[in-house]
Amino acid sequence: MKRFDNGSVLLFILIQAAIAGVGSTATSKSDVPVGDVVSAGAEKSTAATPILSSPHQKSEFKSIAPEVALKWLQHGNTRFTKGTFRKDGVSSEDRKHLTEGQHPHSIVLSCSDSRVPPELVFDQKLGEIFAVRTAGEALDSTVIASIEYAVSHLGPQLVVVMGHTQCGAIKAAISTINGGDAGSDHLNKLVKDIQPRIDLLKRVPASVDYLTEAWVNAKGVAADLAKRSKIIDEKIKQGQLLVVPALYHIESGKVEW
């Protein structure tokens, strides 16, 4: 991989954007890497990604291939753990561009835990991640509808379901798995959504930091999205959507895939 200085990267991407007619800086310069350089080839292939043909989607923008979006998130997490954050993407100019609309490259369903904000742990900026957050990534119809909306109207082809170590919702689901009260009707509904996904683990002692249970839950949520949403299931089968589970490690800041 050839390395460029940041100025060269920006110039190259701007040229690519001009050639491809990319109108939104949210996608064209959005991931100018600071700590890790995404290959020029990856940037080029992004610009060449064909427009989806869904009747729900506008034709003025180009969707980002899920493999490319995934690499951006992975590179962003590397920057996060190294403390070499991007310096673009939050200016008044960026906000101005985003008044024309949003075309996030990824959907991230993650826990509401204050230590796991996807925009920070993936070092992504305004307009780049469509975030849906619930404790334990628990699913209900509004969560699924939010993802269906983004998939149908905003163009992202990647959904990341990200659990994390030391998850309080997972801990609550484990402690009430044999019928205990989580504290309210709402909390009971939340743990009841999580419990079937970790049910097979209830006969063994909980893992350190609930790591195993959190992983199993995140993978289960990723699978349940397709089972519970016809829109998501069809997009996956048509090759227009990739759903990937992930696990954030609270101590190291690393996202495991």
Residue 214 Cβ vs Zn ion, minimum distance, rounded to whole Å: 8
Among 111, 121, 150, 190, binds Zn ion (CB under 5 A): 111
Residue 90 Cβ vs Zn ion, minimum distance, rounded to whole Å: 26
3-state secondary structure of 111: coil
Among 31, 43, 113, 123, binds Zn ion (CB under 5 A): 113
Determine whether 85 is exposed, middle or buried from the number of CB atoms within 10 Å of its CB (0-12, 13-18, 19+): middle
Name residues whose C-beta falls within 8 Å of residue 119's C-beta, 6 or more positions apart in sequence: 125, 128, 129, 131
Tokens standing for residue 51: 């427009």
165-204: contacts with Zn ion (CB under 5 A):
167, 169
Q: Does 109 bind Zn ion (CB under 5 A)?
A: no
Size of the site for Zn ion (CB under 5 A): 4
Of the pair 157, 166, the CB lying nearest Zn ion is at: 166
Within 112-253, where are the H helices? 118-121, 141-153, 168-175, 185-198, 211-228, 230-237
Residue 169 Cβ vs Zn ion, minimum distance, rounded to whole Å: 5
Residue 107 Cβ vs Zn ion, minimum distance, rounded to whole Å: 18
| Cα separation, 33 vs 76, whole angstroms | 8
Interacting residue ranges for Zn ion, rule: CB under 5 A: 111, 113, 167, 169
